[in-house]
Amino acid sequence: MSIDPGRGEADSVLRPRVLLVEDEAELAGMLAGLFREEGYAVDVAPDGHTGLHYGLSRSYDVAVLDRGLPAVEGLDLLARLRRSGVTTPVLVLSALGNPADRVAGLDAGAEDYLAKPFDIDELLARLRALRRRHLDAARTLPVGGARLDLDAREVVAGSSRTALSQRECDLLATLAARPRQVFGREDLLALAFPEAENPVVVDTYVHYLRRKLGRGVVETVRGRGYRIGAPG
Ligand code: CA
């Protein structure tokens, strides 16, 4: 028996996802490589039509859009995503960098705008900041392909919502806040159940979460503890 069969798959499910819409193949390849090094799962769309298709059919943590694109122009693509209710934070990366261009980008629904040529460290830092602000604003945490809504205490997957108790929510939020980390039971006891003393409470609530959300929602890492998985 392998220690943790679903692990590789769950890791890729939990990695933050970025959509990169860029028609210059060399730049797209370079950025995709850097994003992967940063821990992102990357989808590259070489034209606006493909970008629109990905943006509407898949879920991303952040998107980077070029403006001058074949098929559908970048700001048009962005406006269409926003009209369809897609709230993914978007950074527009464009050779058009004067103030009027930036205003047009922000008015079309972009959260941020960076003119080419750009500094790669600045781009990566801006993407990190965008994701942070987005999570803070929404008060949600990704759980696999679903999201934990901390205010409603619900796990939202597409149109389905699963209500959690406060303790279930506290435990899931603790795990989901650091998706790569394996937490020992004592750590989870201290972080999620500060008023409790017996670490068995951790196992009990892991059991409740799995019963509501599917076995995979919390992974057991044998001999070490638990980490977040994916519901269903
Ligand atoms: Ca272009």
Mean pLDDT by 10 residues, the chain (232 residues): 38 71 97 95 96 87 94 94 86 94 94 95 95 75 87 88 94 86 89 89 97 95 92 76
What is d(CA 206, CA 227) in angstroms, rounded to the nearest whole number? 10
User: What distance in angstroms lies between residue 135's CA and the mean position of ligand 1's atoms?
Assistant: 29
pLDDT at 142: 85
pLDDT at 137: 66
What is d(CA 214, CA 230) in angstroms, rounded to the nearest whole number? 8
User: What distance in angstroms lies between residue 80's CA and the mean position of ligand 1's atoms?
Assistant: 18
User: What distance in angstroms lies between residue 99's CA and the mean position of ligand 1's atoms?
Assistant: 19
Sign of torsion over alpha carbons 25, 14, 151, 154: positive
User: What distance in angstroms lies between residue 94's CA and the mean position of ligand 1's atoms?
Assistant: 8
User: What distance in angstroms lies between residue 55's CA and the mean position of ligand 1's atoms?
Assistant: 18
pLDDT at 180: 76
**In this structure, are 63 and 38 located in the same domain?**
yes
User: What distance in angstroms lies between residue 88's CA and the mean position of ligand 1's atoms?
Assistant: 21
User: What distance in angstroms lies between residue 69's CA and the mean position of ligand 1's atoms?
Assistant: 5
Angle of CA points 90, 83, 78, to nearest 5°: 30
User: What distance in angstroms lies between residue 34's CA and the mean position of ligand 1's atoms?
Assistant: 19
Q: What is the 3-state secondary structure (H, E, C) of the chain?
A: CCCCCCHHHHHHHHCCEEEEECCCHHHHHHHHHHHHHCCCEEEEECCHHHHHHHHHHCCCCEEEEECCCCCCCHHHHHHHHHHCCCCCCEEEEECCCCHHHHHHHHHCCCCEEEECCCCHHHHHHHHHHHHHHHHHHHCEEEECCEEEECCCCEEEECCEEEECCHHHHHHHHHHHHCCCCCECHHHHHHHHCCCCCCCHHHHHHHHHHHHHHCHHHEEEECCCEEEECCCC
| Residues in contact with 176: Cβ distance below 8 Å, sequence separation at least 6, in sequence order | 141, 142, 143, 148, 228
pLDDT at 210: 96
Query: Which two structure tokens, joined as six digits, stand for 230?
Result: 């994916």
pLDDT at 231: 80
User: What distance in angstroms lies between residue 153's CA and the mean position of ligand 1's atoms?
Assistant: 42
Range of the domain at 121: 9-138
pLDDT at 124: 96
In this structure, is residue 3 part of a structural domain?
no
pLDDT at 227: 94
User: What distance in angstroms lies between residue 141's CA and the mean position of ligand 1's atoms?
Assistant: 33
**In this structure, are 205 and 128 located in the same domain?**
no
**In this structure, are 154 and 197 located in the same domain?**
yes
What is d(CA 167, CA 173) in angstroms, rounded to the nearest whole number? 10
Query: Which two structure tokens, joined as six digits, stand for 136?
Result: 């803070």
**Dihedral angle over CA of 187, 181, 4, 33, nearest 10:** 180
Measured in degrees and rounded to the nearest 5, phi and psi for residue 219 equal: -95, 140
User: What distance in angstroms lies between residue 87's CA and the mean position of ligand 1's atoms?
Assistant: 23
User: What distance in angstroms lies between residue 70's CA and the mean position of ligand 1's atoms?
Assistant: 8
Q: How many domains does the chain have?
A: 2
User: What distance in angstroms lies between residue 9's CA and the mean position of ligand 1's atoms?
Assistant: 33
User: What distance in angstroms lies between residue 64's CA and the mean position of ligand 1's atoms?
Assistant: 12
User: What distance in angstroms lies between residue 117's CA and the mean position of ligand 1's atoms?
Assistant: 12
**In this structure, are 131 and 191 located in the same domain?**
no
pLDDT at 172: 95
Is the separation of the CB atoms in 45 and 54 below 8 Å? yes
The domain boundary, picked from 87, 104, 138, lies at 138
pLDDT at 10: 38
The domain boundary, picked from 86, 120, 138, lies at 138
User: What distance in angstroms lies between residue 133's CA and the mean position of ligand 1's atoms?
Assistant: 27
CATH number of the domain bearing residue 114: 3.40.50.2300
